[in-house]
Amino acid sequence: MLDKTFDPKTVEPRLYAAWEDSGAFAPKDDPSAEPFSIVIPPPNVTGSLHIGHALNNTLQDVLTRFERMRGKAALWLPGTDHAGIATQMVVERQLAAQGNMSRRDMTRDEFVAKVWEWKAQSGGRIVHQLRRLGASCDWSRERFTLDEGLSAAVRKVFVQLYKEKLLYRDKRLVNWDPQFQTAISDLEVEQREVDGQYWHFAYPLEDGSGEIVVATTRPETMLGDTAVAVHPSDERYTHLIGKAVRLPIVNRPIPIIADEYPDPEKGSGAVKITPAHDFNDFIVGKRHNLPAINVMDEFARINANAPEAYRGLDRFKARAKVVEEFEQLGLLRGIEKTRHVVPHGDRSGVPVEPFLTDQWYVNAKVLAQPAIKAVEEGTTTMVPKHWEKTFFEWLRNIEPWCVSRQLWWGHRIPAWYGPDGKVFVAETEAEAKAQALEVYGHEEPLRQDEDVLDTWFSSALWPFSTLGWPEKTGDLARFYPTSVLITAGDIIFFWVARMMMQGLHFMGEVPFKRVFFNALVRDAEGKKMSKTKGNVMDPLELVDDYGADALRFTLTAMSGHQRDIKLSRQRIEGYRNFGTKLWNAARFCQANGCERAEGFDPAKVGLPLNRWIVGQTARTARAVTEALEECAFDDAASALYRFIWNVYCDWYVELSKPILKGEDAAAQAETQATAAWVLDQIMLLLHPVMPFLTEELWAQTAASGAARGHTGFLMTAPWPQLGAGLVDPAAEAEIELIVAAIREGRSVRDELNVPNSARPPLLVIEADDAQRRTLEAAAGSIGLMLRVSEVRSEAAAPEGAIPFVVEGATLALPVAEFIDLTAERARLAKEIAAHTQDIERTAKKLSNPDFIARAPEEVVDENRERLAEAEAAKAKLESALGRLKAVV
């Protein structure tokens, strides 16, 4: 006998180990099986499982398990990302904590060795946490973005793009993170609104004839000013164009130039131009051939290009000093408080500095075109659809992608420099040397580029590099393009778009046919979870408290097309209860001898109740299948929930009780077999979402084993394929009538406060023969569920009987002695009012000639029927009310 409740704590680890040991997570070898593949969004190797991962990976597992059961060769390929900056930070922090040793106190090789050491010890914790969720990844294929195969892929891509001139080295302004002393890409810059001020500085004219006032929020950059720009149409300054100002402090003459860039409406209309420290100024500088004077070093300290007194000063100290000096010089014309946005490094949190350096760039504009086209043509589709707009918006306005990082942890850039600075890009040093030999005619020492690649450069290759590319592996041939990508929307640019670009470029095919963007999980109040707010929900803790299945079902059920999910413990608890409900239904079946019968054919059952539940099962199987095919996870979950709880448990099990406990052996046997068969279908259909509970039930209902035609795990059992032929409309009509009679009858009893102990008969007053037969045949169930003594036909409702109308039939409960007449009058009046409203609305519609003329015929007919039914029901109730009044 099953325990009273399912115990996830003991079952989950046991089952997971058993699945994993059995090899069931690997795709089956059968070459005729259709492939299905998902590559995991590789979590940072430093990461630990958060609720967003739980959502994302639950959905991947649901699809993987579903497709595996459907007989496909299903591969869910796991792995982790080396996460350049994040990991380097973690290890640096750890080093600092341990022995005050900084990365800069050791060689690059020593530091990288430390990181690997760290990775071996504590990296990849997250992949173990994924197992707790039940993730059926093929761990034998697990990859890491820095492992040898993936590194080879990175080098090959770099070299090829370079040869194709889609990757190049360029000196231009980058977003520089002074905290980490590295360039970062546009996407890693976060705009934060902060308090700041404008300082208005007067720059004296060289000829002593006056001054021109400029405003700035970054006074320290004036040390690198090389011009002052005014708008050509700005009459205030026309006469100054071509003259020069003498830059204070620096004491350098710089020209006043005319350019379209300054906005005469803003500030003084004159703008200081610092090409080396401002993106707009850089462009202006190019136009006018201005020198770009870089006045900072990689720590954002003032460098030797500035006057002596400033050298070595931090940018903010320099700022204060510049302001002070302007004041002393009597050239400070004003200070104005402002609130403005300042770009910050998303990892470091410090303001980034536009910085003039040599970096490697990818020509994303070119690579973007096929990616745009693939989505436009639907080769790759996005769910929810609106993400496609976001995708297009970014790709159509894409800028060159800065891919070099001044870090140590990552893929070292495969470029070598000769003594004269000539660059040789090659997959190996040997090749680079060979190239150099060609050029120089003799051997020259080469120096490899110190930088590493943006982490996302390797992530972009993930869908094919993990399958073995550039080798022509069997996996690559079989599983690329992958079937679907499930990811969070916040990395659509970082990752999804770049995979599209690289996948199309190197494989000639999209990396995935469909992308599902899962929502962002927030707390119950809708706030973003964060450690500082203390509202983080730890998925592992939730698994401990409610079981993995409850969490999985919750996340699945809530993952509609919303942008975010508000998660509460209460929800999870509700779905935990759902699991228990099913568990107990199985327990009921077990206690009542419900086992699969050898050779059981659902199409051949005879009892209407059984024909009905078989049909409902077929409908549900179809609904769940279709939903999962469309990534409509919430629809799948709600179809399951409804069927299991509100159909199988609430009605089928209840209605079957008299049969199971009754005398008719044939009916009993058929019902036992049917109940067990349906329960099996339920386990199968629910398994992708609740794998543990269903697998355990499957094992514990082993009495059905032989008849199942499948030995071994539920997770490898075939997905139900139930034809529409199993739906029997006649059986449906019968059960619907019984259900409606019980519902209505209960409502009557409750509203009139008929005591539970009362056992009146249910009288069938007006009904067609079929209805009469159905109700009488179901007397056992109705008796039990409606607490009536019998179901019997009667020509007319006796005095004081309470009538109610169901599917056009009039039934009555003779309970006059128990009831409060006032309550009954109120009940009847309420019913009548509801019908009256319906009648009015429908009649109004039907009296509209335009409606009759223009609405489709079936809609008109439908309304006519509806009106007739409502009028009939109302009439019956009114006569009942009339009789009631007569009695009083």
In the window 799-838, what residues touch RNA (CB under 7 A)?
Answer: 830
Rounded-to-integer distance, Cα 197 and Cα 593, Å? 81
For position 874 contacting RNA by CB under 7 A, the verdict is no
In the complex with RNA, which residue's Cβ is closer, 638 or 716?
A: 638
Question: Cβ distance 796 to 763 under 8 Å?
Answer: no
| Residues 539/554, Cβ–Cβ less than 8 Å | no
Q: Select from 94-102, 147-155, 631-639, 676-684 the region that touches RNA (CB under 7 A).
A: 631-639
Considering the complex, state which of residue 120 and residue 853 has its C-beta at the smaller distance from RNA.
Answer: 853
Q: Name the β-bridge partners of 512.
A: 482
Question: Among residues 187, 501, 555, 801, which is the contact residue for RNA, using CB under 7 A?
Answer: 187
Pick 142 or 297: Cβ nearer RNA: 297
Pick the stretch among 50-58, 476-484, 619-627, 630-638 that binds RNA (CB under 7 A): 630-638
Binding to RNA by residue 444, rule CB under 7 A? no
- Per CB under 7 A, contacts with RNA among 376-395 are 386, 389-390, 393-394
Residue 23 beta carbon to RNA: minimum distance, rounded to whole angstroms = 33
The answer to whether the CB of 692 falls within 8 A of the CB of 12 is yes
Q: Which span (102-110, 370-378, 691-699, 853-861) binds RNA, by CB under 7 A?
A: 853-861
Question: Taking the complex as a whole, how short is the minimal distance between the CB of residue 743 and RNA, in angstroms?
Answer: 5
Q: How far is the CB of 142 from RNA (least distance, A)?
A: 30
- Shortest approach of RNA to residue 270 CB, angstroms? 7
* In 227-291, alpha helices (H): 279-288
The amino acid occupying position 63 is L
- Angle at which helix 729-751 crosses helix 821-846, to 10 degrees, equals 130
Of residues 574 and 705, the one with the C-beta less far from RNA = 574
Scanning 29-37, 61-69, 258-266, 612-620 for contacts with RNA by CB under 7 A, the matching segment is: 258-266
565 half-sphere exposure, CB direction, 13 A CA radius = 26
Give residues 340-369 in contact with RNA (rule: CB under 7 A). Answer: 340-343, 351, 353
Residues 6+ apart with CB under 8 A from 125: 47, 48
The one segment of 49-57, 445-453, 462-470, 570-578 that binds RNA by CB under 7 A: 570-578
Q: Is residue 433 a contact residue for RNA (CB under 7 A)?
A: no
Helices (H), 310-428: 315-329, 364-376, 387-396
Q: How far is the CB of 300 from RNA (least distance, A)?
A: 9
**Nearest CA to 499 among 363, 400, 371, 398?**
371
312 contributes a contact to RNA by CB under 7 A: no
Least Cβ distance, residue 435 to RNA (angstroms)? 36
How many whole angstroms separate alpha carbon 356 and alpha carbon 358? 7
Question: Could you give the string, one character per residue 582-611, with x where binding to RNA holds by CB under 7 A and - elsewhere?
Answer: --xx-xx--x--------------------
Whether the Cβ atoms of residue 499 and residue 511 lie closer than 8 Å to each other: yes
Looking at beta carbons only, is 106 or 855 nearer to RNA? Answer: 855
Residue type, 220: E
Contact window for RNA (CB under 7 A) among 29-37, 503-511, 560-568, 663-671: 560-568
3-state helix, strand, coil in the chain (%, to 5): 50, 20, 30
DSSP strand pairing (381-383 vs 182-184): unpaired
Tell me if 736 contacts RNA by CB under 7 A: no
| Beta carbon nearer to RNA, 371 or 467 | 371
Q: 427: number of CA atoms within 13 Å, CB side?
A: 13
Binding mask 60-99 for RNA (x = CB under 7 A): ----------------------------------------
**Residue 345: exposed, middle, or buried by beta-carbon count in 10 A (0-12, 13-18, 19+)?**
buried
Binding range to RNA, per CB under 7 A, among 106-114, 401-409, 415-423, 848-856:
848-856
Q: How far is the CB of 612 from RNA (least distance, A)?
A: 16
Q: In the range 27-66, which residues lie near RNA by CB under 7 A?
A: none
Q: Which two tokens stand for residue 159?
A: 């070299």
Nearer to RNA by Cβ, of 527 and 792: the residue is 527
Judged by CB under 7 A, the stretch of 14-22, 69-77, 264-272, 531-539 that binds RNA is 264-272
Q: What is the residue type of 543?
A: V
Residue whose token pair is 């109308």? 805
Tell me how far, at minimum, the Cβ of 131 lies from RNA, in Å: 24
Least Cα distance to 201 among 56, 12, 298, 332 occurs for: 332
Per CB under 7 A, the segment of 80-88, 509-517, 770-778, 847-855 that binds RNA is: 847-855
- Tell me whether residue 111 or residue 282 sits nearer to RNA (CB atom): 282
Binders of RNA among residues 503 to 532 (CB under 7 A) are: 526, 528
- In whole angstroms, what is the distance from residue 229 CA to residue 223 CA? 16
Please tell me whether residue 118 binds RNA under the rule CB under 7 A: no
Residue selected from 74, 90, 415, 565 as contacting RNA according to rule CB under 7 A: 565
- The token duo for 536 is 């983080």
Residues 745-774 that bind RNA (CB under 7 A): 746-747, 750-751, 756
Q: Residue 782 in contact with residue 771, Cβ under 8 Å?
A: no
Question: How many of the chain's residues bind RNA (CB under 7 A)?
Answer: 88
Closest CA to 789 of 736, 819, 745, 751: 745
Instruction: Please select the residue that binds RNA; options are 94, 160, 217, 379, rule is CB under 7 A.
Output: 217
Interacting residue with RNA among 297, 427, 650, 871 (CB under 7 A): 650
- What is the distance between the alpha carbons of residues 81 and 45, in angstroms, rounded to a whole number? 6
3-state secondary structure (DSSP) of residue 344: strand
Within the chain, how many helices (H) and strands (E) appear? Answer: 30, 29
Tell me the closest approach of the beta carbon of residue 109 to RNA, in angstroms.
Answer: 35
Measured distance CA(106)–CA(231) in Å, rounded: 52
Contact yes or no for 745/762 (Cβ under 8 A): yes
228 part of the interface to RNA, by CB under 7 A = no
The Cα 398–Cα 400 span in angstroms is 7
How far, in Å, are 205, 394, 483, 629 from residue 514 at the CA level?
A: 63, 19, 7, 11
Q: For residue 436, what are its two tokens?
A: 């150099």
Per-residue 3-state assignment (H helix, E strand, C coil) for 847-868: CCHHHHHHCCHHHHHHHHHHHH
- Site stretch for RNA (CB under 7 A), options 48-56, 86-94, 564-572, 709-717: 564-572
Token output for 805: 């109308």
Which residues make beta-bridge pairs with 520?
Answer: 564
Regarding 569 and contact with RNA (CB under 7 A), the answer is no
Site stretch for RNA (CB under 7 A), options 138-146, 273-281, 427-435, 707-715: 273-281
Using CB under 7 A, pick the residue from 170, 324, 429, 564 that binds RNA: 564
Q: Are 395 and 187 in contact (CB under 8 A)?
A: no
**Minimal distance, residue 258 CB to RNA, in Å:** 13
